[in-house]
Amino acid sequence: MSKSKSPEAPRPTSGQGGETHQTASAAEQRITTNHGVPLSDNQNSLKAGERGPTLLEDFALREKIQHFDHERIPERIVHARGSAAHGYFELTDSLAEFSRAKILTEVGVKTELFTRFSTVAGGAGSVDTPRDVRGFAVKFYTKEGNWDLVGNNIPVFFIQDAIKFPDLIHAVKMEADRGYPQAASAHDTFWDFIGLMPEATHMIMWAMSDRAIPRSFRMMEGFGVNTFRLLNDKDEATFVKFHWRPKLGTQSTCWDEAIKIAGADPDYHRRDLHEAIAAGQFPEWEFGVQLLSQNEADALPFDILDATKLIPEELVPIRFIGRVVLNRNPDNFFAETEQAAFLPTNMPPGVDVSEDPLLQGRLFSYQDTQLSRLGTVNFHQIPVNKAKGCPFQNLQRDGQMQTQVFKGRANYEPNSLNEAGEDGGPREDPNGGFRTFALPMEQTKVRLRSKSFADHYSHARLFFRSQTEIEQAHIASALVFELSKVSLEHVRLRMLSNLRNVDETLAARVATGLNLELPTASVAAVAPQNMKASPALRIVGKYPETLQGRTVGILVSDGADGDLIGAVMKAVEGDGGTIKIVAPRIGGVTLKGGKKLKANGQLAGSPSVIFDAVALVLSKEGCAALLNDGAALGFAMDAFGHLKGLGFSPEAKPLLDKAGVVPDEGVAPLNGEIAAFLKAARTRQWAREPKVRSLA
C-alpha cells in the first residue's frame, strides 16, 4: 500500500492528551459563555488538581451542560428510546470487608429494583436495532435509600471529561441543518468529532464491534463504566467497577440482519423483553465487582479514573456477588418507563464516587435533566422513583406537583420544636448516614487533563487484538461502512491516520475497503503499548450450548407433515427455546390429514431476521406454490446469509435450492432426525460467513 501525507489537522490548544480542535484568531470568533464571557479552555472542566474532583464553581461547565440538558422537551436528550422491567437483586456473597452498604452485606436478602435499557442516539420513536451503545440503568430500592447504577453495555466511554459530552452528542445526533440521520453515527459530523478526539478511539472499537448490535436486552452485558469507591465501617476506601453478566450469554446480530430487523420489527428488543417476562422466561444477570486498593490502582499502567480505559479481567478478576432477575413488566409504559429518573448521586452509605471527571459531571447533569423533563423538584414522589425499601423524610417542602401533605410547623433545621412537645422533624445521622471519602487535597485549581490520561490508543489496540478473526473482520467492515457514509475526505483520512496507532492491519483493511491510500499515522500524545490480550473481551464462541432464550421460526404450508412439525416443536421447547409458526396466511394451514394449525405470524410480515434459527416444513404442493414468492425465498436466503441454523423437510429442498442455500453443517435435513438441527440452531454458523458476504 502506497503512502501519502497525513491530512493537515487543526492546531492543538491547551490541555494534555493530544486533543485537537480549531482555534480562532479573531476576537469575534472566540468561544464565550451565553453571557459573553470568553473562555480560555473548552476542553477540560475545572478540577482541584489534575486528578482531583470537579469544582462546583466551574460556571462554564454548569452552563454548558445545563443548556444541553434543556434542549429537548420532554423526552430524554439521550437514551430516549427505552424499555424497562421490574425485578429483584439477591446478594450471594457479602462485601462487608469493603462496604457498609446493607445491600452489599446482607446475604440472601432480595432487594426490589427497576431496570431500564435504551439506545443512546435516537429519539423515542426510533427503532431498537441501530448500531449504538445501549443504556443499562438499574434502580435498587434499598433499605438505605435508592441506589441508581446508571451504566451501559460497553465498559468505557467516548470522552474523559464531562465538559465534552454536549459536543459528543451534538456530533452524533441529527445534523443541525438537515435533521438527519436519525439514530445513526454514519455521517460527517460524528466522525469529524471522533477524528479530532483521539481519546474516543477505544470506545470506537467497541461501537464498531458486535457489542453495538445486540441480539436482545437479555443478552447484553452491563457495566457501571465509571470507577466508584466502596467505604467500610472504618471509612477505608476500595475502588470498584460494577458488572452485569447475562445468564443467556452475550449475543449479537449480524449487521445486515440488524438493518432488516429495523424494517421488519422496529420494536424487536422491546417486544423480546416483554414477551420473555410474560412467558415466565425471566432475564437474569450475575452481578459482579472488580475491587482494587489505592496501591493496586497505582500499580496499573493506566489511570482507573479515565473512563476511556477498562481493567482487563485477567489483571483484576470479577468477583460475582449476586444476581439480578427481571420478573415483572411495567403496568404503564409512561408512568414507569418514561418517568423513571436515574441519578448517579443516588447512593447508599458505603458507596461513593471517585474523581473521574466524566462521573463528576454526571453528578450534576442527571439531576438537572430530570428537572427539565419532569418539570418539578418533586419528581422523586413519582411512584417509580419513590424510595420503597425505607422512608424518605427531610424538611424540603412545597414546589410544583407536591403530593405529600406535611403536618406541623417544622420546615427548617436545626429547630427545637421537640422541646415544646411538637414534632421537630428528622435529624442527621453522623454514624449511619452517608459519608464521603476523606480525600486529602492541596492542589492548585486548574483546567488541565491529567498526564495519566494521555494514552489514547493502547486500550483500543488491546480490544482489537483480543478479538477473534471473525470479530476483527466485523470491526473493520463496520468502519468501512461508517466511513463510506462520510462525504468529507479529510475526515476519512484523519480516521485512517488514527487507526494506524491502533493496528496497522486494521488501518490497511479499512483503507482498502474505502479505496484510499493509507496516510501516515497521526502523532500520538503517548506511544501506544502492546498490552497482553484479554480473551474475556470476545463474545464469539462463548454462547451457551442451549436454545434457552432463542426463538425458532417454522415456515409451514398446507399439506405439511404435522408429526414432523410436532417433533421439531417438542425438541426445541425441550431445549429451552420458543417456537413461532409462520404460514403464508395468518389464518394458518391445514396439515396432512386435515388438522388445522394456527400461525403466530404471516410470511409477508414475519421474515427470518426476527428468529434465531428457522425450519421449513412444507408439502410438495406447498413448496411449489412458494417458489415464486419473494417473501419465501427471502426467508430462506436471509436465514442462510445471517449464519443461522436451518432445518428442512425433504419437500422443501427445491425452495432452498432456488434461494441459493448451499448445504453445510448448519443446514440440516429433517428426515426423522432432529439433533443436527438443534445443534445448528444453538449458535451462528461462523464458518459459513466467508461464503455469503465480503468483509474488510
Q: Quote the cell numbers at residue 662.
A: 448451499
Helix axes 357-374, 165-172, angle to 10 degrees: 60
Identify the residue whose cell numbers are 452485558.
Answer: 221
SS (H, E, C) 559-597: CCCHHHHHHHHHHHHHCCCEEEEEECCCCCEECCCCCEE
Would you give the DSSP letter of residue 675?
A: H
Element (H, E) at 240: strand 237-246
CA dihedral 163, 164, 165, 167 (to 10 degrees): 130
Candidates 589, 658, 662, 586; CA nearest to 619 is 589
Q: Quote the cell numbers at residue 325.
A: 432477575
Set 152, 226, 329, 498: catalytic member: 152
Would you give the DSSP letter of residue 149?
A: E
Set 79, 202, 456, 459: catalytic member: 79
Structural contact between residues 635 and 555, judged by C-beta atoms closer than 8 angstroms: yes
CA dihedral 77, 457, 155, 127 (to 10 degrees): 40
Burial of 295 (0-12, 13-18, 19+ CB in 10 A): exposed
Buried b (16+ CB within 10 A) or exposed e, 469-495: ebbbbbbbbbbbebbeebeeeebbbbb
Parallel, antiparallel, or unpaired for β 551-556 and 145-152? unpaired
Q: Quote the cell numbers at residue 423.
A: 414534632
Candidates 470, 466, 464; CA nearest to 686 is 470
Q: Quote the cell numbers at residue 82.
A: 427505552
Residues 6+ positions from 624 with CB-CB distance below 8 Å: 654
CA dihedral 414, 419, 423, 427 (to 10 degrees): 40
Q: Quote the cell numbers at residue 348.
A: 447508599
Residues 6+ positions from 140 with CB-CB distance below 8 Å: 89, 103, 111, 112, 113, 146, 147, 148, 149
Structural contact between residues 13 and 448, judged by C-beta atoms closer than 8 angstroms: no
- Quick check: helix, strand or coil at residue 383? helix
Burial of 438 (0-12, 13-18, 19+ CB in 10 A): exposed
Q: How far apart are CA 510 and CA 504, in angstroms?
A: 10
C-alpha torsion sign, points 154, 158, 164, 166:
negative
Q: What are the CA-CA distances from residue 107 to residues 97, 104, 388 (Å)?
A: 13, 8, 19
Structural contact between residues 606 and 640, judged by C-beta atoms closer than 8 angstroms: no
Query: Is 79 considered catalytic here?
Result: yes
Instruction: Give the catalytic positions in this structure.
Output: 79, 152
